[in-house]
Amino acid sequence: MSTDESSVSLRALRDVLRSQIPDVDTFAFHLASTLDALYLGPTSVPPARIPDEVLRAISKLLPGIQVQLLTSAVPNFLHVLDERQRGLLLSFFVPSTTEVETLHMRRSVALVTYLTLPSLLSSSHPQAVSLPQQSRSFIFEILSDLVDNFSIDAIYWSIFSSSLKSRGDGWGTMQWEDAVKALVSLPGKVANAAGLWKEDGWKDDLPSSLVPREYFDRLADKFERLLYELSQTPPYNFEPLRLIVQRLASLGLLRSPSNPSDPTPNLLTSLFPPLLSHLHPAPTSPLPPYPANFLSDFFLGLPTSILANFVDSFLQHIALKLINEEDGALLPNNPDERVKRASVLLVDVIGHPRIGGEAWEAVITSITKRRADDPMRNASQARNRVIGAWVSLGGETAAKSFIDLLLRQWTDPKYIKFTLYSQQLCKSTSPSLLTWKALTHLLVLALSLLPPYHPHLVYASHQSHFLTAMHSYLAHPDSKVRRLGMLVAEIVSELTIAEDINAMEYDPQEDIEELKAGLELDEDGQPKGKKPRMRRAKRLRFTGMWEGQGEGKEEARWLRSAVSVRDQEASLADDLTGDNWLLGWDREALRPRSVPESMKEQPPQAGPSKPRGRALSKVTLPKERPKIVMLDDDQLADPLEGYASISPSSSRSPSPTPSYLEEVAADPSLALDATQNKKLAKPVYIPQLIELLKERDKPDHIEMGLKWGEQLVRAKRSFGTELVEYAPTLATMIIALNDSFNIEGFDGNRQNLLNALVACSPGNVAPYLAEQYFEGQFSLQQRSVLLTALAMGARELAGLVVPNPPTTKRIDFPTKTLPQALHRRYIGPADAPLPIDQQPGQIDEAIDGVRNLLLSKGAKKGEETVPELARGKRLRVGPTRQPKVGEIGSLSERQMAGSSKPSPVVPFKDVAAESFIMPLINRFWHFFRDVSTRDARALVSGQKYRGAGTGMILSPLALEKFLLTLALLVHAGRHSPLFLAVLSPEALEIAVTIGSRHMARPDDLGATSTEGIEGSNREAQVVGAALELALVCLDASVDLDGGRTLAMDKSQVVLAVGEWAQGVFEVENRGGEVAGGQGGMREGRIRAASAGVVVKVAEIGDKWSSVGLLR
């Protein structure tokens, strides 16, 4: 294979993705061929060494291909890909091969993915590529696999490997900076993208590997592995790795230890276990430790502020484990080997204490700086002892400097005056503390670093600032602080003044005699008597000051016990397992998290290469179990076998033997119907869906199209212009479908598909359906499907509830039914489908909800006018509906997020008049005019007009469905700007026109014949639908402007509606006979609707008749 073939293959795939791919098999073929050219296919045989040209082609061409796959190919093909094809697609982002020869190439692909995909998550640039909704869950799946298989160590080797050094150091540095920035910022971008997408209706959950805590834990573990691996291969280049620490520190990951359940990430929590295990491995471990001074050289090269934060966090994490009571309490008066081990680890990480060095300044900064709140108050003793043991490793010079620094801080007049007692003692619970909150305890430990009576201690005790501080402490208003100063003075005197036994027998009377003798002078002017004797300084002994409880006495006794405690003198026990050097960290944390095969491999070494072939693993499919067939006695007695002997006189052909049948079945040349049994592919484009629905004589094609059509249409709603171009053609194919093959779920799938088409492309589909409704080539059932799609699509765009389509129960085993007589006897009403005019559809369920809403609103308003009912309603106690609040990550939060609906393509109020309501009304009037003209000509000529399907549109059943659909559209479009001026008056005019022409009572029309009575029975449903349409229009008008627009512009229509509704209501209230002979629920529906219309008209009249708008 030539080195240019990889570039040619990538360019070819890029050109294919820019064009329209016909089907999923072609898409998978191009993916597989490109992966084979890159040696990343599942059956590829890579060469011993991958050419650099292939790596350059990947870094140059693969980013654009990844963007095209996510923005154009994935929305079309993702839902129809099988497992193998999905694996091919994922290989362009996260390669899954395991050959050692392709390691560099897999890492290069992962690098490209890290640099490309974050830009698609939440780009705010107006010219940036936006990610389609269909690709959002898939990009999180890619990133999850990427994090699991390729982390910071793989990206480092992909950039700084020997095979890519020809590009230059400058290129590698820039690539590394971009890669580190992408890796560190990935969890934040993922969280931001998920939050924005959930507002748009995205309902999936984030993978756990992309959650910040788990992500950064894994990143820290991989970073330590990379650090350890580089420590074994000098010379060292620390700058790339220091960039990682700087980026993580800028995010605040160098922080105090927290609760394990805290979701906030922490760098050292995951870095400590592997770091400590590699610093001091077990004697039997084959792994060598870190080289001497490697970690100190690495960390001391960090910026000063970051180094100080790192040392502070390091000491806090170490101290947290030292106070663990499971390993034994840390006693203040006994040296502890754990403290000594911690000080040795501190030397391993930041080096020995050298005055003025980076490590020294970092430790001093962590001591002297203040913070608002320190959650590590209980670990102050352990941190102080670790610092003291670390300073002791610097010798006498470091101890002197450390004592002077602490004395300057402890004797500072401002510190004495303004610092609380809790800030001077380590056992504190104050929320405002020093970093170590134990300056006094640290001072006592520092004084113990030098032997008693050391000249430096004596010199420090005679300093003026120390003596002045003693006076300040004794004059402090807080008794606890005074006792603290007395304690330090007593300890200093004990360490600087030797014990004098003679001084203990001193008599104060001798001093008085000497003073008296000094008052008498001799002839020379000299005092008479003996010369006063010189006395040594006396130790301070505040006997009884530390006994008892309260006023800081317990803390004083605790500090006295810490004098002369030197942890550096503790003896270290033998450690054969290396657990003692973990300082309490759980060894379970050292186990890697399911390391993938791609990360276990090492770069290929020079030498003989391994065989390039790879054995293909055999995929064992589960054997198909034979079907169990229950045979009765007759069947057992008459097995289906051929005759054993052949009669020469018989003309019957011999039965085939089983061996002959197996031979025929195994012959591939005799597969006559192989082409007919070809598996159908799921449609990925709208034209493919249209082609499937065109095959009227192939039920599998129709079933496939109806099954996957709705999902495809909704996937294309916000992706390109393909749906808009083919929507009318697809709508025609859907309406014209007939269930000739009794396909399961045919009616529901067809209705859902047409509903989705109206909701996803309302601008051109809704007017087209309004036009097709008045054509003559459709049946009544097809027209019902069309009206249902308009109503349900409008409700979906308006954000209203869409009822589920009705389903008819089917008999599971039709051949096992009872004989016809018994079957008709035992079959229930729910098992038999209702007649077409009695089936409750989506429109009926929706209009029932609207009717109940309007009538209940009037009932509530009526209750407010009656004082007794209004008072009882106010006094009625009931549960109040509180706003739902769900904790992040809880089940209630996911349920609340799942209940959110995706935003519509366009708000219904913007397209209600232009695309839905007015096309229906205008088409109806045109059709009604043409029918009236033909009927008039027929009366003149004496010949009745004949046309296929023309009478169905004006039939009672069709008119009822039409009026109910119009009522639902008007109710959903009540917030349209044209509602008051156009929609409501036009709909009212249709309602009163159709309702008045279909009067329910034959007596009112002067009809007395039986035919007239039977015909009028079918008109009641039209009257009821017209009344409900009028009620919807009047109710919305009253809510919006109190009926002012109707009263001012369409007063005649309002009066006509009121007169017509009043007449219907009077007919309903006549004793013994109801509208059109209908009883039961239909009677109540007409009565309630007519009463509601009368009330609304009366309300408008009462309000506007006084100003002359309605008379």
pLDDT at 507: 58
pLDDT at 861: 63
Per the model's pLDDT, the better-predicted residue between 983 and 1000 turns out to be: 983
Tell me how far CA of residue 34 lies from CA of 139, 397, 889, in angstroms.
Answer: 21, 68, 41
Highest mean pLDDT among 96-105, 662-671, 786-795, 998-1007: 786-795
Tell me how far CA of residue 207 lies from CA of 67, 145, 210, 424, 456, in angstroms.
Answer: 21, 10, 6, 48, 62
Is residue 494 within 8 A of residue 538, CB to CB? The reply is no
Tell me how far CA of residue 542 lies from CA of 395, 408, 443, 485, 539, in angstroms.
Answer: 33, 25, 20, 12, 10
pLDDT at 618: 39
Per the model's pLDDT, the better-predicted residue between 1015 and 362 turns out to be: 362
Query: Is residue 616 pLDDT above 60, yes or no?
Result: no
Query: Is residue 304 pLDDT above 90, yes or no?
Result: yes
Query: Is residue 125 pLDDT above 90, yes or no?
Result: no
pLDDT at 151: 94
Query: Is residue 670 pLDDT above 70, yes or no?
Result: no
Tell me how far CA of residue 375 lies from CA of 143, 256, 306, 318, 628, in angstroms.
Answer: 35, 8, 20, 14, 69
- Pick the closest to residue 254 from 241, 268, 270 (CA basis): 268
pLDDT band at 169 (very low <50, low <70, confident <90, very high): low
pLDDT at 1111: 53
Query: Is residue 630 pLDDT above 50, yes or no?
Result: yes
What backbone phi and psi angles, to 5 degrees, belong to 657? -80, 160
CA 1059, CA 253: separation in Å to the nearest integer?
78
Residue 1069 CB neighbours (<10 A): 11
CA 457, CA 583: separation in Å to the nearest integer?
34
pLDDT at 542: 80
pLDDT band at 787 (very low <50, low <70, confident <90, very high): very high
Is residue 1046 within 8 A of residue 1101, CB to CB? The reply is no
- Pick the closest to residue 837 from 779, 784, 900 (CA basis): 784
Tell me how far CA of residue 717 lies from CA of 505, 725, 757, 805, in angstroms.
Answer: 104, 12, 9, 22
One-letter amino acid at 831 equals D
Tell me how far CA of residue 370 lies from CA of 287, 384, 408, in angstroms.
Answer: 41, 16, 16
Predicted TM-score of the model (pTM) = 0.73
pLDDT band at 414 (very low <50, low <70, confident <90, very high): confident
pLDDT at 477: 84
Is residue 967 within 8 A of residue 1025, CB to CB? The reply is yes
CA 389, CA 568: separation in Å to the nearest integer?
5
pLDDT at 531: 56
State pLDDT tens for residues 949-959: 555 888 888 99
Query: Is residue 1071 pLDDT above 80, yes or no?
Result: no
Per the model's pLDDT, the better-predicted residue between 404 and 47 turns out to be: 404
Highest mean pLDDT among 223-227, 369-373, 1017-1021: 223-227
Highest mean pLDDT among 632-646, 755-769, 796-810: 755-769
Query: Is residue 626 pLDDT above 60, yes or no?
Result: no
Is residue 416 within 8 A of residue 480, CB to CB? The reply is no
Query: Is residue 345 pLDDT above 60, yes or no?
Result: yes
State pLDDT tens for residues 419-432: 655 555 544 433 33
Among 556-565, 585-594, 973-982, which is the least confidently predicted range?
Answer: 585-594
pLDDT at 870: 55
Q: Helix (H) and strand (E) counts for the chain? A: 48, 2
Helix, strand, coil shares of the chain as percentages rounded to 5? Answer: 60, 0, 40
pLDDT band at 545 (very low <50, low <70, confident <90, very high): confident
Is residue 847 within 8 A of residue 972, CB to CB? The reply is no
Is residue 1037 within 8 A of residue 983, CB to CB? The reply is no
Query: Is residue 95 pLDDT above 90, yes or no?
Result: yes
Is residue 200 within 8 A of residue 902, CB to CB? The reply is yes
Among 49-58, 414-423, 594-603, which is the least confidently predicted range?
Answer: 594-603
pLDDT at 960: 93
- Region 77-105: mean pLDDT is 90
Among 21-30, 410-419, 446-455, 887-896, which is the least confidently predicted range?
Answer: 887-896
- Pick the closest to residue 738 from 699, 795, 764 (CA basis): 699
- Pick the closest to residue 690 from 624, 638, 737 (CA basis): 737
pLDDT band at 865 (very low <50, low <70, confident <90, very high): low
pLDDT at 636: 46
- Pick the closest to residue 132 from 192, 81, 71 (CA basis): 71
Tell me how far CA of residue 300 lies from CA of 257, 293, 614, 924, in angstroms.
Answer: 22, 10, 48, 85
Query: Is residue 835 pLDDT above 60, yes or no?
Result: no
pLDDT at 100: 85
DSSP 75-95: HHHGGG--HHHHHHHHHTTS-
State pLDDT tens for residues 1-35: 455 788 999 999 999 999 888 889 999 999 999 99
- Region 722-743: mean pLDDT is 92
Is residue 68 within 8 A of residue 116, CB to CB? The reply is no
- Region 46-60: mean pLDDT is 86
% of the chain surpassing 90 pLDDT: 42
Is residue 569 within 8 A of residue 335, CB to CB? The reply is yes
- Region 616-645: mean pLDDT is 47
Query: Is residue 1098 pLDDT above 80, yes or no?
Result: yes
Is residue 959 within 8 A of residue 773, CB to CB? The reply is no
pLDDT at 941: 74
Per the model's pLDDT, the better-predicted residue between 343 and 679 turns out to be: 343
Average pLDDT of the chain is 80
Residue 596 CB neighbours (<10 A): 15
Query: Is residue 109 pLDDT above 60, yes or no?
Result: yes
CA 496, CA 452: separation in Å to the nearest integer?
6
The token duo for 956 is 């009672």
Sort 185 into a burial class: Cβ within 10 Å, 0-12 / 13-18 / 19+: middle
CA 106, CA 918: separation in Å to the nearest integer?
60
Region class of 94: left (phi > 0), else alpha (psi between -120 and 50), else beta: beta
What's the chain's Rg over C-alpha atoms?
A: 46
- Region 885-905: mean pLDDT is 55
Per the model's pLDDT, the better-predicted residue between 407 and 134 turns out to be: 407
Tell me how far CA of residue 77 lies from CA of 68, 134, 691, 749, in angstroms.
Answer: 13, 10, 17, 21
pLDDT at 31: 95
pLDDT at 884: 53
pLDDT band at 323 (very low <50, low <70, confident <90, very high): confident
Per the model's pLDDT, the better-predicted residue between 596 and 16 turns out to be: 16
Q: Count CA within 13 A, CB hemisphere, residue 1059.
A: 9
pLDDT at 631: 53
Rounded to a whole number of angstroms, the distance between the first and last alpha carbons of the chain is 93
Query: Is residue 982 pLDDT above 90, yes or no?
Result: yes
CA 858, CA 1088: separation in Å to the nearest integer?
11
Is residue 760 within 8 A of residue 905, CB to CB? The reply is yes
- Pick the closest to residue 439 from 383, 496, 373, 394 (CA basis): 383
Query: Is residue 548 pLDDT above 50, yes or no?
Result: yes
pLDDT at 627: 45
CA 1039, CA 1032: separation in Å to the nearest integer?
11
- Pick the closest to residue 334 from 569, 573, 580, 565 (CA basis): 565
- Region 656-664: mean pLDDT is 74
- Region 734-763: mean pLDDT is 93
The token duo for 959 is 């008119």
